[in-house]
Each structure stands twice: as structure tokens, then as C-alpha cells.
Amino acid sequence: MKNKVKTNDVILQTVTNVVAFIIILFSLKLFFSGHYTPGGGFIGGLMTSGAIVLLLLAYDIKTVSSILPVDYKIVTAIGLFLSVATGAGALLFDVPFLTHAYDYFHLPLLGKTSLHTAVLFDTGVYLVVIGVTMTIIQTIGVSE
């Protein structure tokens, strides 16, 4: 394992370019279908970080951080802020903390859609899961 053979990962990289998009689409599908079918913010975030891990496997940390120039600790902070702000926003309407509300809206392209504030809370969970997972993986990966 120590001898550094110059390898060519063209098959892995080509497959990754296609499959990473499919995994991200699947994770978004899992995230948005969480209210009525199995899924939700947690498993959607795990799948999105799975796609980023596949990119890390096929390329290296420097390339991936130039593709996705985000600091994952800030992603975690934004997610926590979204969840807390969704809960605290209920206090403005004289209802207990974390009370959610929903209503039906007529959107231009989608027609009659039910929009629920639990989606904002779930977005916070999604961002926190991505941030924590990628922070753990990158911290372990960088140290030598």
C-alpha cells in the first residue's frame, strides 16, 4: 500500500459526475416528501452529505472545496438559527413556543399548495445534519 503507483480514476470520476446528481435529487425528494411519506430532513441531509462524500472519494478535498466553497460550521449555525427562529416566531402570534401553522395558497405554477412552517424547521434539521456530518468527515480526513 505504501508504494505510490500513479493511478487513473477516470471510470470512478465519470460515474461520480452522473451519480452525485442522482443522489442529490433523491435527497431533495426525500426531504420534500417527509410530510406525507417516509423521509424528512434527517435522512435527506444524510443523503446530501453522502453525495459530497462520493465527490470527496473520487476527487480530493481541495477540488471539492473549490466546487463547494462553504464552511460547514457556518451551515450548522444557519440550520440551528432557522430551527430556533421558526419556534420563536410562534411567540409573535401569542401561541406557545414551537406552535406550527399551515394554510393553502395559490401559487403561480403549482396551483393550490399547502405551505407549512414545519418545512422551515425541517430545513434547519437538514442544514444541521449536512454541516455536522461534513465537519466530522473533513476533520478526520485532513489530519494525517
What is the nearest approach in angstroms of other proteins to the Cβ of residue 64?
9
Distance separating alpha carbons of residues 82 and 72, to the nearest angstrom: 15
What is the nearest approach in angstroms of other proteins to the Cβ of residue 65?
10
Scanning residues 34 to 53, which ones bind other proteins (CB under 8 A)?
37-39, 43, 47, 50, 53
Distance separating alpha carbons of residues 144 and 126, to the nearest angstrom: 30
Residue 17 neighbours by CB distance under 10 Å:
11
What is the nearest approach in angstroms of other proteins to the Cβ of residue 126?
16
Name the strand (E) or helix (H) holding 110: none
* Under rule CB under 8 A, residue 56 binds other proteins: yes
Distance separating alpha carbons of residues 41 and 121, to the nearest angstrom: 9
Which region among 56-64, 66-74, 98-106, 114-122 touches other proteins (by CB under 8 A)?
Answer: 56-64
Residue 26 neighbours by CB distance under 10 Å:
16
Figure out which of the listed residues 54, 90, 118, 119 binds other proteins, where binding follows CB under 8 A. Answer: 54
What is the nearest approach in angstroms of other proteins to the Cβ of residue 61?
5
Torsion sign over Cα 5, 8, 11, 16: positive
Q: Note the residues at the interface with other proteins (CB under 8 A).
A: 1-2, 6-7, 12, 19, 23, 26, 30, 37-39, 43, 47, 50, 53-54, 56-63, 137, 141-142, 144
